[in-house]
Amino acid sequence: MPIGQHEAPSFLGEIPILTDEPTLVTIRAITACRLYQLSGEDFREVLHECRDFERQMFRAIYQRIRGLEAFIQNREKLAALGTLAAGLAHELNNPAAALVRALRNVPAALLELQRMNLVYGQRQVDEAHTQQWLQVRDQGYDLLLNHPPNPLANRDREERLLEWLEDYSVNQAWKLAEPLALGGVEVETLNQLMERWRDDPTELREMGLHWLALSFDVMEMIASGTRSAERISELVEAMKSYSYLDQGAQQLIDIHAGIENTLLLFAAKLKGIQVQRHYSPDLPRLLAYGSELNQVWTSLLDNAIDAMGETGILEITTGCYKEAIQVHITDSGHGIPVELQTRIFEPFFTTKPVGQGSGLGLDLARRIIENRHHGSITCFSQPGKTTFTVCLPLTPPHGLPTLSNHHEDTTYSQVEDGIDTRIEP
C-alpha cells in the first residue's frame, strides 16, 4: 500500500519510534538525495529537549495520521461496497439468466402453437368440446400466474399423469407430464377431454394433449420471466434505497427497510445462515442520515456473517424504549475474547486475520451512531453469542442541535466539553 511521497526537507519513521512497534516499509529514491538515519534514543532526546522540534514533529504526525485515517476509511467504505456489489452481481445473475432462458424458448413454442391452432381450425370440431379444452387451459393459466406452485403436490400429480399418458401411448409422454402437472390438470380431467376423441383415428387425439402441455409450457416461461424481471427490479430498488439515491442527506427513514435492503444485498453470503427477525410492529420512523445508518448495518452484519462462517443463526431484534430505538444484532459465532472486547471500537484495531480487515469498520459505525445521531453502540460477547446493540434517540439530548441543523457536507460531528467540532470531508 503506497503511504506517500516525500520531498526534502522531510522526515519519516517517527511513529514506529514513538510507539516502539517497527513497521516494514520499502523506500525508493526517485531523485538524487541525502538520507540521514537518527537512532531512536537520539530522536527521543532531541524531542524532549527542543520544544520547536517537538511542536513541528507532532504537527506533522497529526496531519499524517489524519490523512492515513481518511485513506483507510475510504478503503473500508470501498471494501464494504465491493462486498455488496459482489453479492448484488451474484443475485442479479440468477434471475437474469432465467429471464434469458425463458425468452429464448418462447418464439419456437409460439410458432408451434400457431401451427397446431391452424391444423385444429381446418377440422370439423365440436364447439362445446373446444370450450372444454379452453376452460382447462384458462384454469391452468390462472394457477401458473397467480398461485405459487406446491412442489410436493406437483410431483405426485406428474407421476399420475405420466402413467396415464404412457398407458394412452402418447408420444414423448415424459415431456408432457410436467407442464400438465404445473397447470393443475388431473387424470380425471384428461379422461373427460379425451372421451370425445377416444374412437377418433385422426391426429387431433394426441395433438390436443400436446397443445395443452405446450400452452402451459409457454405460460410457465412467461411467468418465470416475469418473476425474474420482478426480482431484478426488486434488487435494483433495494440498492437504490440502500444508498438513498435521489433523496436529501436527511429524511424520515424506516429502520426495518434499511436493514432488509442490506440483508438483500448480502443474500449471497447468507446462503447457509438462518436469519431470525424479531421486528417491533410499531417502530416509529426516525429522522436520520439513511445512507450512513446503512453503512452501520453493513459493517455489523458483515462482521456477524464472517464470525459465523458458512453456518449459524443471525438474529435481529428491534424495539422502542424510553424515546429511543434499539436494534440488536446477534450472531452465533465464536465470540470476541474478553481481553479484546474493550478495544473493538478503537481505530485500526481488528480481530480479523491480517489483510482481511482495516480495523475501521466499527470505529466508523461508532462515529456515525454517536457523533451524527447522538446515540450509542455497545457490544456483549461470549462464545456462541455476540450482540451489538445500537441505540438511536428519537430526539437529540437536551442542549444538542437537531440533525437538521448540521451541514449536509459534514462527514462527522462531535460535541466535547460544550464545543461542537467538525471534521470536514
Q: What is the per-residue pLDDT across 322-348, written as a single tens digit (0 to 9) for each?
A: 889 999 999 998 888 888 877 777 766
pLDDT of residue 1: 64
Mean pLDDT of the chain: 78
Domain boundary residue among 54, 85, 116?
Answer: 85
* DSSP letter assigned to residue 276: E
Task: Tell me, yes or no, whether 92 and 227 share the same domain.
Answer: yes
Task: Give the separation between CA 143 and CA 137, rounded to whole angstroms.
Answer: 10
Q: What is the per-residue pLDDT across 198-240, written as a single tens digit (0 to 9) for each?
A: 665 556 667 888 888 888 888 888 888 888 887 787 777 766 6
Task: Tell me, yes or no, whether 68 and 92 share the same domain.
Answer: no
Selected residue with higher pLDDT from 311 and 249: 311
Position 245 in a domain: no
Q: What is the per-residue pLDDT across 379-395, written as a single tens digit (0 to 9) for each?
A: 998 888 999 999 999 88
Task: Tell me, yes or no, whether 389 and 281 share the same domain.
Answer: yes
Q: What is the CATH number for 398? A: 3.30.565.10
In order of 11, 44, 186, the CA distances from 49 in angstroms are 18, 9, 96
Q: What is the per-residue pLDDT across 127-168, written as a single tens digit (0 to 9) for each?
A: 787 888 888 888 888 888 888 777 888 888 888 888 888 887
Evaluate if residue 411 carries a pLDDT over 70: no
How many domains, in total, are found in the chain? 3
Residues 370, 379 contacting (CB under 8 angstroms): no
Domain boundary residue among 30, 51, 85?
Answer: 85
Instruction: Determine the length of the chain.
Output: 425
Domain boundary residue among 85, 110, 144?
Answer: 85
Position 416 in a domain: yes
pLDDT of residue 194: 79
pLDDT category at 422 given cuts 50, 70, 90 is very low
115 CB-side CA count, 13 A: 9
Angle at 89 between CA 258 and CA 318, to 5 degrees: 20
Q: Which long-range contacts (CB under 8 A, 24 or more apart) does 103-112 make?
A: 103/221, 103/225, 105/221, 106/218, 106/221, 106/222, 106/225, 109/214, 109/217, 109/218, 109/221, 110/218, 112/214
pLDDT category at 243 given cuts 50, 70, 90 is low
Task: Tell me, yes or no, whether 117 and 56 share the same domain.
Answer: no
Evaluate if residue 122 carries a pLDDT over 90: no
Domain that holds residue 305: 269-423
Task: Tell me, yes or no, whether 287 and 385 share the same domain.
Answer: yes
Task: Tell me, yes or no, whether 230 and 178 share the same domain.
Answer: yes
Task: Tell me, yes or no, whether 301 and 417 share the same domain.
Answer: yes
Q: What is the per-residue pLDDT across 262-293, written as a single tens digit (0 to 9) for each?
A: 888 788 788 889 999 999 998 999 888 887 88
Task: Give the separation between CA 189 and CA 194, rounded to whole angstroms.
Answer: 9
Residues 91, 268 contacting (CB under 8 angstroms): yes
Position 72 in a domain: yes
Evaluate if residue 110 carries a pLDDT over 80: yes
Task: Tell me, yes or no, whether 276 and 418 share the same domain.
Answer: yes
Closest CA to 232 of 374, 96, 348, 349: 96
pLDDT category at 107 given cuts 50, 70, 90 is confident
Selected residue with higher pLDDT from 405 and 124: 124
Q: Cell numbers 434517540 correspond to what residue?
A: 393
Closest CA to 412 of 374, 383, 372: 372
Evaluate if residue 103 carries a pLDDT over 70: yes
Q: Which of 62-66, 126-130, 332-336, 363-367 has the highest mean pLDDT?
A: 332-336
Task: Tell me, yes or no, whether 220 and 290 share the same domain.
Answer: no
Position 166 in a domain: yes
Position 130 in a domain: yes
pLDDT of residue 402: 46
pTM, two decimals, is 0.52
pLDDT of residue 399: 46
Position 248 in a domain: no
pLDDT category at 315 given cuts 50, 70, 90 is very high
Task: Tell me, yes or no, whether 177 and 93 share the same domain.
Answer: yes
Residues 294, 259 contacting (CB under 8 angstroms): no
Over pLDDT 70: what percentage of the chain?
Answer: 77
Position 62 in a domain: yes
Task: Tell me, yes or no, whether 309 and 405 share the same domain.
Answer: yes
pLDDT of residue 407: 34
pLDDT of residue 330: 94
Position 3 in a domain: no
Task: Tell me, yes or no, whether 181 and 319 share the same domain.
Answer: no
